[in-house]
Structure 1
């Protein structure tokens, strides 16, 4: 039987994600955007900060369009008093629209976390040649965001630097695993795009003439571990087969890997990671599939996508996507609570 408090929090989370006008809605979530220097890129990157607020101001939908619903937040609201645990968030694959991760950022902020949602530069369809570098640039982006917030005269007073976690989905999950100390193996990485490999972007690389054997081995396999990060949650990580077994065996950062219970591309199956490291705990959200982590669709979203010949992203699910969001969020919160302590 689910405890009453757990049921209440799950219902609150679900209502918040649906932007309901209730005591549980995400009107208690503030939002602002900053730019931080990313040394690995030689430029600044955008970071959206989602955070708890005590303001009673009006929330507006953020990231909405004709196909996808927005998430309610108060831009520029004051930060709730006290120091809050910090979550570094990296969402999606090589070319994912970043607004799809807003539900997760807002859900965590509603629970008291400051969430630094790091947005890598967008990749166009003809930019496969620079896409491989994202594999090491994105974890570096997360570390850069942590450095910037830790030294910022305002935000350093709001975050608890002893309680920092990193959460990611897909390639973002690969990034946070690297921050925990997992290192990619060159030969295993190249093998992801050979016959029988599990790479998700291989067709794109091939069409663009990208040869993974030409990847810079030093940059690909370098350690990206950030010892300031106390916990990691990786949701459906890409490139799970490409990690060095030795680096997984010696992983010290508490790591939770969430897999999707419904059939998914093998390139998103991180279930084997649990047996390769004593620091990795795996669990599955049984009713979820790879589309469950994307934003909620509007009532007309499926029809609009159907006109474009793509219906999968807004196909109905059972249970509904909003409930799956709540289940995933509850799993993430449970892992963070276990590693960072209660709010």
Structure 2
């Protein structure tokens, strides 16, 4: 009787006392870099992962956020999400989303895309913006599965990709979509005086070159990827029912309500071309600035056009909604070990190897 009483006392104490409660999962953080001598491509990577260590403020360049930097990860192998930032972003600009994924048991790796980031947007409205990113995401995944610090944390059978803006377009390519410019010649008809950003004289000139790019329908499918989320993907007019028909994996499409580059009309056109309906979501009152995580004080001074373009409460609401949608989607499709086999990939034509990303000068600025 005494032994039973002691056991019950200890059990009740463990359930009620924080000292005996199981530690919560927190976001760990580290940075990595890769130099690929075969393509002369350098990638700077930020990595978030689940840990039981308490987070603290991390100051990295112009960014400040909360994470347990350098602390040991949770034991075991976890699902991996490769994160692709928006056009004026970097590996840190989705830190709130990455941290929330880590709190839910995911490892997240985010590259700063060379030639398409806050320090340089030369590829805007070009095919290279999407195709270079697709190659860089595949290179990032190669590193995650081979790096001695990352590989032990990652379950190679549970890999997803999430991209914002052009990152969303690249995510669609990794899911199996192909670019197809069939609809571009008539897209801007009657829009000469409209606010459509794709149809301004400057953008239209670049988009004409985009549409004429040789081998535009090259395959970028990465068969290691089992689920994809695309947030306001760019260039919806560059996809057709045929070019989207090869997507066989779960797909989440999120629309930022105030985006001018992925409007309701763009979303409806993309959906009408999809042979298999994706999961849909909408981010109320979200524009490009709200899709970027909160800025530190330094960044507010150097990037006011993004950091101060939306009030803090609105940005937080958008960030919370985007994280909730992404976490629920990826937990559903990647949260369980030993996932079932995916549907067969289409084999109606030979698999094409994606070309190497273009070379870009190495940026030393820590964004």
* Per-residue Cα deviation, 1:230-287 (whole angstroms, up to 9, x for no partner): 0001111111121132122332011010112x33314455522334231522221234
* Larger Rg belongs to: 2
Structure 1 unaligned runs (5+)? 1-22
Cα drift, residue 122 of structure 1 = 4.0
Cα drift, residue 145 of structure 1 = 1.3
TM (normalized to structure 2)?
Answer: 0.71
Structure 1 segment 314-333 matched on structure 2, within 5 A: 314-316=309-311, 320-333=314-327
Q: Which moved more, 1:35-44 or 1:152-161?
A: 35-44
* Per-residue Cα deviation, 1:186-242 (whole angstroms, up to 9, x for no partner): 3445666776399757759559x7473376634432111111100001111111121
Q: What SS does the aligned partner of 2:94 have?
A: helix
Q: Rate the CA distance shift 1:37–1:235 in 2: closer, same or farther, 3 A.
A: same
Q: Which residue number in structure 2 is paired with residue 256 of structure 1?
A: 252
Is contact 1:264-1:290 (8 Å) kept? Answer: yes
Q: What SS does the aligned partner of 2:157 have?
A: strand
Specify which of 85, 89, 110 is matched with residue 91 of structure 1: 85
Is contact 2:33-2:43 (8 Å) kept? Answer: yes
Mapped partners of 2:185, 2:39: distance in 1: 23
Mapped partners of 1:291, 1:259: distance in 2: 14
Q: What SS does the aligned partner of 2:230 have?
A: strand
Q: Rate the CA distance shift 1:183–1:83 in 2: closer, same or farther, 3 A.
A: same
Q: Which residue number in structure 2 is paired with residue 53 of structure 1?
A: 51
Specify which of 303, 317, 335 is matched with residue 329 of structure 2: 335
Is contact 2:285-2:318 (8 Å) kept? Answer: yes
Structure 2 unaligned runs (5+)? 1-20, 338-367
Aligned length: 309
Is contact 1:198-1:239 (8 Å) kept? Answer: no
Q: Which residue number in structure 2 is paired with residue 157 of structure 1?
A: 152
Specify which of 104, 126, 139 is matched with residue 111 of structure 1: 104
Q: Which residue number in structure 1 is paired with residue 129 of structure 2?
A: 134
Mapped partners of 1:296, 1:223: distance in 2: 35
Is contact 1:252-1:279 (8 Å) kept? Answer: no
Q: Rate the CA distance shift 1:271–1:311 in 2: closer, same or farther, 3 A.
A: closer
Mapped partners of 2:168, 2:124: distance in 1: 22
Q: What SS does the aligned partner of 2:290 have?
A: helix
Q: What SS does the aligned partner of 1:109 have?
A: helix
TM (normalized to structure 1)?
Answer: 0.76
Mapped partners of 1:199, 1:221: distance in 2: 25
* Per-residue Cα deviation, 1:285-317 (whole angstroms, up to 9, x for no partner): 234333321122568988x689x7x58843327
Is contact 1:31-1:74 (8 Å) kept? Answer: yes
Q: Rate the CA distance shift 1:132–1:271 in 2: closer, same or farther, 3 A.
A: closer
Q: Which residue number in structure 2 is paired with residue 235 of structure 1?
A: 231
Task: Considering fraction of residues, name the structure with more helix.
Answer: 1
Q: Does 1:120 align with 2:113?
A: yes
Mapped partners of 2:85, 2:98: distance in 1: 10
Cα drift, residue 178 of structure 1 = 0.7
Q: Which residue number in structure 1 is paired with residue 33 of structure 2?
A: 35
